[in-house]
Amino acid sequence: MRKLALSDEILMSVDKSARYIGHEVNAVWKDLDSVDIRFCMCFPDVYEVGMSHIGIQILYEMFNRRPDTFCERVYSPWPDLDKIMREKNIPLFALESQDPIKNFDFLGITLQYEMCYTNVLQILELSQIPLMAKDRSWEHPIVIGGGPCTYNPEPLADFFDIIYIGEGETVYDQLLDLYKECRKNNDSRHEFLVKASHIEGLYMPSLYEVEYNEDGTLASFTPVEGAPEKVKRQVVADMSEVVYPDKPIVPYIKAIQDRVALEIQRGCIRGCRFCQAGMIYRPIRERSLEFLEKYAIAMINSTGYEEITLCSLSSSDYTKLAELMEFLIEEMGRRRINISLPSLRIDAFSVDVMKRVQDVHKSSVTFAPEAGTQRMRDIINKGLDEETILKGARQAYEAGWNKVKLYFMLGQPFEEDSDVEGIPHLADSIAMEYYDTVPKEKRQGRCQVTISTSYFVPKPFTPFQWAAQITPEEYTRRKTLLMDTLKQEHNYKSIKYNWHDSQTSILEGLLARGDRRVGRVILEAYKLGCIFDAWTDFFDAKKWYKAIENAGIDMDFYTTRERSTDELLPWDYIDTGITKKFLKREYEKASRAEVTKNCRDACAGCGCNTWNTGVCVENK
């Protein structure tokens, strides 16, 4: 029997001890004497969240295919165990070997959302690794970050040795090979980092010097010791010739994503101006039907899951969706496997498909108009008109659904009160459509339309990266306006309104567009006891404001200030392939409520065609 890092008594004292024992179906085990590199992959949130992330499963598979490397996993210990580990001075351990992470060669941390930043510090501290990169030696692992938040890693710059910019499937082999060579040559840790800075896509925060103007804006951002001026985003050229896990790990306890996840494509053609994912994963690249069919069957057979879900930013844009669905309905039906289909645009085809794979009485239909008026939807380039939404709703009602969910954002640039009022108006029209479509005798009570609003956070590498975030007070005012308008709608009894907490979003805004100085806020917040900030139960806004005060940071400078398009931005050294010219052009078009066509209809000239792949070379 394998050893456990925690005693029975500790495991019996904490909630869900299965989070900490590893040993899951398809977890990899290697003979420790046969490997040169110990890599620990971390998702800095609780196990059930982290285990639901396919990115880690992809990299786990990729690393473990190397005979010289053993990749293991770690997730944030829940506060109950966190407390015990601190009291008893137990070092954080990897799930597979249960060995302390401080003895590993690498600790890779995926950064999926800003509100996990204090958990990064928790991971480092519990691992007994110095929080500050400058305090580390060869005694400690190389701490490397990746994931969508690395498109502005500056607030975390002091805590990481390396930041990997872009898709993980490309240059890790080079990094690990270089590491082995440097260790063999007895290079210093610093020498290794300098050498690694020449691998495309790797950013070493310690090799860049930052100067600020008197007004607080960036004056210069200068590489030292020969580090490159620009760090180029890594992009997988062929999504059908790249590693994917055919045997994903199956947790014993129910993860958030308790099903097989099949990533059908990466990127999005839509170009919504608020959406960071729609920009930083460009160009859209589809996986071949053959690839997806093979992996769907392999993953179902190797995991025993009873459900498969298709992952992508917009499933409807997958060109062979009809063929794929035919295949899945046939093959999964035979195996009694359910199919879930998120991110669908609601049209006749998707209503038909959904009807075949879902129970209309239990499930709901989701639309993400993101804005209530046509003017506003044009500003954000949503590419969706009211007629299409109403038609989609009608088709869904005719097919038997009576629950509709609607997602909106408040506080996007150029939003006026009439746009806010447009949200309940639209919801009312959607509800009205139900009573017009479904005859009285066939109705099962009222229809249920649910409006959710989130508080818009401008993100780097989007056309709105320069825009001001609205203040929490303004968000509350618009929320109240929405609510008051809703009460006057004809069908208000059929409409429910949920809103997102404003305190989290404004802090997310600070972390998303912060510079290196914002790192102090994260450190202060952590020292004040903040962890699991993405969890409502643990999030403590007061502590964060105290941390901002302690760090001497002007919150408004980062959140509610509109930047000039000439300003040097903290993330400008990253070359995502998307030109600043394109982003500026899109911002200007937004101000005129002018739409830009999607990538398939016409190239918008974003600059990503230099990758020569995906939609940029389709039909050529």
Query: Given CA atoms 612, 613, 616, 619 in this order, what sign does their dihedral have?
Result: positive
Element (H, E) at 304: none
Pick the piece of the chain touching other proteins (CB under 8 A) from 248-256, 309-317, 318-326, 363-371: 248-256
DSSP per residue over 186-251, as a string? T--HHHHHHHHTTSTTEE-GGGEEEEE-TTSSEEEEEE-TT--SSEEPB--S-TTSS---SS--B-
* Binding residue (CB under 8 A) for other proteins from 128, 174, 302, 503: 302
**Separation between Cα atoms, residue 536 and residue 262, nearest integer Å:** 30
User: In the chain, how long is the greatest CA-to-CA distance?
Assistant: 81
Q: What is the phi/psi pair of residue 162, to 5°?
A: -135, 145
Task: Name the residue type at position 43.
Answer: F
Pick the piece of the chain touching other proteins (CB under 8 A) from 3-11, 419-427, 541-549, 562-570: 3-11
Asked if 301 interacts with other proteins (CB under 8 A), we say yes
Nearest distance in Å: CB 334, other proteins: 11
Nearest distance in Å: CB 296, other proteins: 14
* Binding residue (CB under 8 A) for other proteins from 159, 305, 397, 573: 305
Q: What is the phi/psi pair of residue 369, to 5°?
A: -70, -25
Asked if 18 interacts with other proteins (CB under 8 A), we say yes
3-state secondary structure of 159: helix
Cα dist. 218→168, 180, 438, 523, 563 in Å? 29, 37, 59, 21, 12
Give 190's contacts (C-beta < 8 A, 6+ positions apart). Answer: none
- Return the residues of window 324-353 that contact other proteins according to CB under 8 A: 335-336
**Separation between Cα atoms, residue 413 and residue 64, nearest integer Å:** 45
* Binding residue (CB under 8 A) for other proteins from 33, 211, 215, 359: 359
* Binding residue (CB under 8 A) for other proteins from 188, 224, 238, 252: 252
Kindly report whether the peptide bond that precedes residue 283 is cis, defined as omega within 30 degrees of 0: yes
- What own/partner pairs with CB < 8 Å and gap ≥ 24 does 15-20 have? 15/78, 15/80, 16/47, 16/48, 16/78, 16/253, 18/251, 18/252, 18/253, 19/46, 19/47, 19/48, 19/75, 19/77, 19/78, 19/253, 20/47, 20/77, 20/81, 20/95
- Return the residues of window 377-416 that contact other proteins according to CB under 8 A: none
**Separation between Cα atoms, residue 504 and residue 546, nearest integer Å:** 15
Asked if 22 interacts with other proteins (CB under 8 A), we say yes
Buried b (16+ CB within 10 A) or exposed e, 191-205: ebbbbbbebebbbbb
Asked if 566 interacts with other proteins (CB under 8 A), we say no
Nearest distance in Å: CB 15, other proteins: 11
Give 8's contacts (C-beta < 8 A, 6+ positions apart). Answer: none
Nearer to other proteins, 331 or 489 (CB): 331
Residue 43: both structure tokens together: 């998702």
Judged by CB under 8 A, the number of residues near other proteins is 29
- Return the residues of window 149-188 that contact other proteins according to CB under 8 A: none
**DSSP designation for 526:** H
Asked if 289 interacts with other proteins (CB under 8 A), we say no
Pick the piece of the chain touching other proteins (CB under 8 A) from 16-24, 481-489, 564-572, 602-610: 16-24
* Binding residue (CB under 8 A) for other proteins from 35, 210, 242, 250: 250
* Binding residue (CB under 8 A) for other proteins from 36, 125, 200, 306: 306
Nearest distance in Å: CB 233, other proteins: 38
Asked if 190 interacts with other proteins (CB under 8 A), we say no
Nearest distance in Å: CB 257, other proteins: 15
* Binding residue (CB under 8 A) for other proteins from 65, 88, 198, 254: 254
Nearer to other proteins, 18 or 390 (CB): 18
**Residue 36's Cα: distance from chain center in Å?**
31
Asked if 605 interacts with other proteins (CB under 8 A), we say no
Asked if 147 interacts with other proteins (CB under 8 A), we say no
Asked if 25 interacts with other proteins (CB under 8 A), we say yes
Nearest distance in Å: CB 254, other proteins: 7
* Binding residue (CB under 8 A) for other proteins from 52, 150, 276, 303: 303
Do residues 115 and 508 touch, judged by C-beta distance below 8 A? Answer: yes
Asked if 9 interacts with other proteins (CB under 8 A), we say yes
Asked if 47 interacts with other proteins (CB under 8 A), we say no
Task: Name the residue type at position 319.
Answer: T
Nearest distance in Å: CB 18, other proteins: 5
Place of tokens 């990899």: 28
Pick the piece of the chain touching other proteins (CB under 8 A) from 12-20, 105-113, 134-142, 423-431: 12-20
Nearest distance in Å: CB 463, other proteins: 44
* Binding residue (CB under 8 A) for other proteins from 23, 66, 375, 425: 23
Nearer to other proteins, 22 or 458 (CB): 22
Residue 376: both structure tokens together: 């506003």
Positions in the binding site for other proteins (CB under 8 A): 1-2, 4, 7-9, 11-12, 17-18, 21-25, 250, 252-254, 300-306, 335-336, 359
